[in-house]
Amino acid sequence: MYQYDSLLLAPGPTTVPRQILESMNQPMTGHRTSEFSQIIHNASRDLQTIFGTDHPVAILTSSGTSALEAAMVNITNPDDHIVIIVSGAFGDRFRKIASAYPFNAHIFEVEWGNGIDLEAFETYLKSLKVDVTAVFTQFCETSTSVKHPIHELGRMVHQINPDIYFVVDGVSIIGAVDVDMERDNIDVLVAGSQKAIMLPPGAAFVAYNDRAKTRFGEVTTSRFYLDLNKYITSLQDDSTPFTPAVSLIRGIQTYCDLISEEQFENTIKRHELCRNAVRESIKALDIDLLVEDQFASPTVTAFVPKKEEVKKIKDELLNRFNITIAGGQQHLKGTILRVGHMGQVSPNDMLQFISALEIILSDIRGESVLGKGVSKFQEVVNQYV
C-alpha cells in the first residue's frame, strides 16, 4: 500500500486534470455530426491563444513526432536545403526525420545543456553558400531542459533572410510560455497533447501563419496522412480529414476552459514560479543544475546529482514516495535526472518533490539536509504570493 498519492512529474505525459478526464468520458459521438463540428470548431479556435496565432490550430490524431514530420514535409521541397539546430534528443529527432526524405539537412550542433549562441548561429547561417528554405529548432529541448531564446532567434533569421521559414517544436513548452507567432517571427509552431497542455498522449498540433499556409499548398514532397492542406481545408468546414481522436478533442475544449478560468498569463507565471522554486531548492541541496538560469525552461528542470546518487534518487522517489521523474536520454542517461513541472502542477506539488528529495539525500549522504531545500523553496514562493 502506498502512503502517498502518485505524483507524476515526468516531462510528459503529465497529470490529466479531473475536469478533462470527465469531459473525455462523455458518450462517443460521430465525427461527422453537428455536435462534433461544434467541438472541433471550439477546440481549434480556443487553442489560438495558447499558440499565439490568429489561425485555427490543426489537430492531428498522432503523437508529437507526427507534427514535427508534418511541419518538415509541408514546408520543404525535395532537394531543398534546411538547417536543423540539434541541441539534444529532439533536435536529433528532426535530423532523423529529414534523413528519411530527399532533403539536404545542415546541422548546427549545440552542446547538450547549452542554449543556442545567437552570434555563432548567425555566422553559421550566413556562411552557408546555399539557399536555405527553413530553420528548425526546439523551443524547449526536453532532453536537457533548455529553453532557447526563440524570439531573438526568430528575429535574427528573419533579418538575415525573410524568405526563410522558421519552424519551432514547442511540444514540451506550449501551454506554459508566452508566444506570439507574428511577434516572434514563427511560421510553423507544433506541440503535443501530453505535456503542458495536460491531455493524455495522442493528439498533435500545428499552428501556422499565412505564408506557411500558402507554402503547404505549393510544396511537392510526397505525403498523405501528414498533408496539412487536408487538415486546414477540413477545418474550414469544422471537420477533420480522417477519424479524429474525438475524446481528446473534447478534452481540448475543457483544457482551454480551465486556462481561461486561470487566465493564461497566470498559467505562465505559475510555471515560472515552479521552475524558480525548484531550481533554487536544488541548488540549496548542493546539486548542480544542467542549464544556466538564462536558458532554464519553465516546464522541466535537469539536475546533475553525483553519479552514484542518480539511480537511487529516481528509484526511491518512486518506491518510497510514489513520485515519478525521468532520467537522462542518450549520452546523458545515468548522469542527469529531469523533473517536470508543467500542466496541472502547483508549487505545493513541487514542494513534495523537494521534501522527498531531502529525505533521500540525507540517507544517501549520511548527514541531514532536511529543510535546506524546503526553506529555499518557501523563500521563492514568498516572493510571488
Ligand X SMILES: Cc1ncc(COP(=O)(O)O)c(C=O)c1O
**Scanning residues 172 to 211, which ones bind ligand X (CB under 6 A)?**
172, 192, 201
Indicate the helix (H) or strand (E) that contains 344: none
Contact yes or no for 47/170 (Cβ under 8 A): no
Q: Where are the beta strands (DSSP E) in the chain?
A: 7-8, 58-60, 81-86, 104-109, 132-138, 140-141, 146-147, 165-169, 188-192, 204-208, 288-289, 300-304, 323-324, 326-327, 337-340
Contact yes or no for 278/50 (Cβ under 8 A): no
CB closer to ligand X out of 281 and 297: 297
CB closer to ligand X out of 68 and 186: 68
Say which residues have a Cβ less than 8 Å from residue 23's Cβ, sequence separation at least 6: 250, 251, 253, 254
Taking the C-alpha atoms of residue 202 and residue 251, their distance in angstroms, rounded to an integer, is 12
Query: What is the per-residue DSSP string for 205-241?
Result: EEEE-HHHHHHHHH-----STT-HHHHHHHHHTT--S
Name the segment binding ligand X (CB under 6 A); options: 155-163, 166-174, 232-240, 368-376.
166-174
The set of cell numbers assigned to 185 is: 517571427
Contact yes or no for 175/198 (Cβ under 8 A): yes
**CA 107 remoteness from chain centre:** 21
Please, what is the minimum distance in Å from the beta carbon of residue 364 to ligand X?
A: 29
CB closer to ligand X out of 13 and 154: 13
Please tell me the count of residues contacting ligand X according to CB under 6 A: 14
> For the window 297-336, what string marks contact with ligand X as x by the rule CB under 6 A?
----------------------------------------
CB closer to ligand X out of 70 and 235: 70
> For the window 27-66, what string marks contact with ligand X as x by the rule CB under 6 A?
------------------------------------xxx-
Binder among 90, 103, 295, 377 for ligand X (CB under 6 A)? 90
Interface with ligand X, residue 133, by CB under 6 A: no
> For the window 218-257, what string marks contact with ligand X as x by the rule CB under 6 A?
----------------------------------------
Chain position whose Cβ is nearest to ligand X: 64
Binder among 171, 282, 291, 356 for ligand X (CB under 6 A)? 171
Say which residues have a Cβ less than 8 Å from residue 178's Cβ, sequence separation at least 6: 52, 265, 268
Q: Is 338 annotated as a binding residue?
A: yes
Please, what is the minimum distance in Å from the beta carbon of residue 139 to ligand X?
A: 8
Binder among 10, 12, 75, 247 for ligand X (CB under 6 A)? 12
**Scanning residues 60 to 89, which ones bind ligand X (CB under 6 A)?**
63-65, 68
Binder among 23, 76, 137, 142 for ligand X (CB under 6 A)? 142
Q: How many H-runs (helices) and E-runs (strands) does the chain carry?
A: 13, 15
CB atoms within 10 A of CB 65: 18
Please, what is the minimum distance in Å from the beta carbon of residue 27 to ligand X?
A: 27
Name the segment binding ligand X (CB under 6 A); options: 102-110, 165-173, 312-320, 324-332.
165-173
CB closer to ligand X out of 51 and 90: 90
Residue-level length of the chain: 385
CB closer to ligand X out of 171 and 360: 171
Please, what is the minimum distance in Å from the beta carbon of residue 330 to ligand X?
A: 13
* Burial label, 298 (beta-carbon count in 10 A; 0-12, 13-18, 19+): buried
CB closer to ligand X out of 327 and 364: 327
Contact yes or no for 87/297 (Cβ under 8 A): no
CB closer to ligand X out of 145 and 281: 145
CB closer to ligand X out of 171 and 245: 171
Contact yes or no for 138/148 (Cβ under 8 A): yes
Going by the annotation, the residues of the binding site are: 338
Binding-site positions for substrate read: 338
Residue ranges that bind ligand X, judged by CB under 6 A: 12, 63-65, 68, 90, 93, 138, 142, 169, 171-172, 192, 201
